[in-house]
Chains A and B, each alone.
Chain A
Amino acid sequence: MTSDRKARDDRGPGEPRKPGAGQSNKPQWANGLRQLYDSVVEEDIPDQFKDLLSRLDAKD
């Protein structure tokens, strides 16, 4: 939905952030944010959430 402006808008002030674009200028910790996020995404979903959704589904 934002494809036409994306190339420009994905840049912070003077700061390339697209992977591949100006990789060398990125701070060394830049992919740490992604790692932090992905490390949680990759965890197994605790049963409490599956149970909750099943309960809600059964109730309707």
Chain B
Amino acid sequence: MGAEKRTASEKAAFKRELTDVVPHLRAFARGLCGRADMADDLVQEALLKAWAAQERFEPGTSMRAWTFVILRNAYLTDMRRNRFRGEYDENVAERILTAPAGQEEPIHLSDMHRALLTLPPERREALLLVGAGGFSYEEAANICGCAVGTIKSRVGRARAALNTMLADGDIPRRSTSDDTAHRAILEELDDVAAGNGVASRS
């Protein structure tokens, strides 16, 4: 639909760029929703939406940023429909990240992932975009539709929370499995979707 307005080479370029960005979409989705199968469902959904909206993509701009916005919106919608509950995927590699002095157990990549999944969604996505995806604060703010200061604040809080959890070795197994936590997350999601996250209120 409408795609015929684009030249064949533009369409080919779009497909190529979209294909190239799939590994990044999978990585972002995995960080957001934890389980690999759910993350890939989300990527599939985002690809379909991106394809349908390809007329709105401006050639020369960042395909990664454009598709992350689409994936993020799909994620927020699905979260509100209760599809993802931040379940932790037990299949994450037990790779050792670091062994802090004075701590019995080293920190594993899986600990990191689990700790990440306990963060409120708006802080998790901010940290993923900046700390993992390598986006600048401005780019992350554009993707999330909020102010740069808000992103900075969210990243700062997310880092502080991870620091505490990882330093104390105190990482909840499943932070979102009880109803209270889940309700709180849904309320936060409404705020995030409305463009005013928790951080901007405080």
Contact = CB atoms under 8 A, between A and B. Distances in A.
Interface of A: 1-2, 5-6, 9-10, 12-13, 15, 17, 27-30, 32-43, 45-46, 48-50, 52-53, 56-57, 60
A27 B160 CA distance: 10
B71 interface: no
19 contacts: A1-B138, A1-B139, A9-B138, A9-B152, A12-B152, A27-B159, A28-B98, A29-B107, A29-B166, A32-B97, A32-B112, A35-B97, A39-B109, A41-B26, A45-B22, A53-B18, A57-B11, A57-B15, A60-B4
Contacts of A34: 131-132, 134
B44 A48 contact: yes
A43 B93 CA distance: 13
B163 to A, nearest CB: 5
Contacts of B19: 45, 49-50, 53
Nearest to A50: B19
Contacts of A10: 136-137
Contact of B107 (A1, A32, A38): A32
Contact of A41 (B27, B43, B51, B107): B27
Contact of A36 (B23, B44, B132, B166): B132
B27 A38 contact: yes
Given A12-B155, A29-B107, A60-B3, A37 B15 contact: no
Contacts of B107: 28-29, 32
Contacts of B47: 49, 52-53, 56
Nearest to B137: A9
A46 B40 contact: yes
Interface in B7-36: 11, 15, 18-19, 22-24, 26-28, 30-31
Given A40-B30, A52-B48, A60-B3, A27 B132 contact: no
A54 B188 CA distance: 37
